[in-house]
Structure formats: C-alpha cells, structure tokens
Amino acid sequence: MPLFDAETLAQHRRLMARLAAGEREALQLLYLEFAPLLHGIARRMLEDPEDARDAVQDAFIKAWRQAATYRAERGEVVSWLVFIVRRSAIDRLRKGARRRRLHETLRREPVEMAEREGGGTPLDSENLDGYLGQLSAAQRQALELAFFGGCTQGEIAEAMQTPVGNVKNHLRRGLMKLRQLAKP
C-alpha cells in the first residue's frame, strides 16, 4: 500500500513549485507534512536526538535553497527530502567521527610527547575547549571548520572569505599553539 495517494503526491509537487518560487508558507507546509517522517529516519541513523533534529533542520534549509533543482520526473517529493535528510545525517556522522579523532589525537599527542620528554598529562574535552578559546578567532574558526565541520581548505577559505594560503597558515599556527598550550 502506497504511503501517499495520487492527490497528496500532486499536492506535494505543487508545494515544491511554490517553494521554488520562494514562498515561505510552502516550506512551513512541507515541514508540517514531512518533519516527523524525516526525524524518524535521522533518529535511526544518529545516536543523539539533538543531532537528528539538526539534520532535519539542515535538510529543510537545503530544500529551501535547492527547491528549483527538484524534478518530479525523477521521483516524488518525499523521496527527494528523504535523500537530503540522509545526506545531512551522514554528514553529521562524519563530523562526529572527525571531532572524536581530533580529541583523541590531541589527547594522545601530549602523552606521546610526555613519554619522549618525560612528564605531562593528556588533554581532556574541558582542556581542549579552554585551549581552543585561547586561539585567535581566525585560527579557532579554521580549526573548527576543518575538524568539526569536515570542510576542505577551499571550503574554509570560502566561508572565511580569505585566500587558501591564509587558511593553511591559520590551521598550522592554530595546531602549533594547541600543542604549545598542551605542554606541561
């Protein structure tokens, strides 16, 4: 048995046409129609309920921005939105993995240095947050976009509206400063 009848599917396509025309009310109506379904999908993929809510919000923002790319001949609106929320959830999974790797690297690196130099303690999440707060705004933003946002250097440069060379410097100097701060 299909999830939606023919009239409902046609209504969804009309809402997408309105959304592509920039009508905010269409976005609200699509949200009311699909948010519970999309949240359920995101929740099955993500451990954290807050991450699931954020993935759904990201999906609707992308739908708003990319509404003109929807093509009814390629599939129904529900399929298009499910695809977007799945990508958003996968992006969040990857970001979480990157964040855990950064924390683990920064925790392990001082221990490895301490073993070589004789002394020291590993970083914990509280220390890392404090150390990130001691970086320049540009260094912190570049590191957060790279490690927590999963952005490439080109994407960071675009987000920060600065040349890629500057991004590389911010990343290098930020990491050097974190290492320095983590030393006993």
Interval 22-59: pLDDT, tens: 999 999 999 999 999 999 999 998 888 888 999 999 99
pLDDT score for 117: 46
Q: How far apart are CA 3 and CA 154, in angstroms?
A: 42
Q: How far apart are CA 168 and CA 139, in angstroms?
A: 10
Q: Long-range contact list for 132-137, CB < 8 A, 24+ apart? A: 132/178, 134/177, 134/181, 135/174, 135/177, 135/178, 136/170, 136/174
Furthest-apart CA atoms within the chain: distance in Å: 73
The domains of the chain, with CATH numbers, are: 6-92 (1.10.1740.10), 95-182 (1.10.10.10)
pLDDT in tens, 46-104: 888 888 999 999 999 999 999 999 999 989 999 999 999 999 998 888 777 666 666 66
pLDDT score for 184: 62
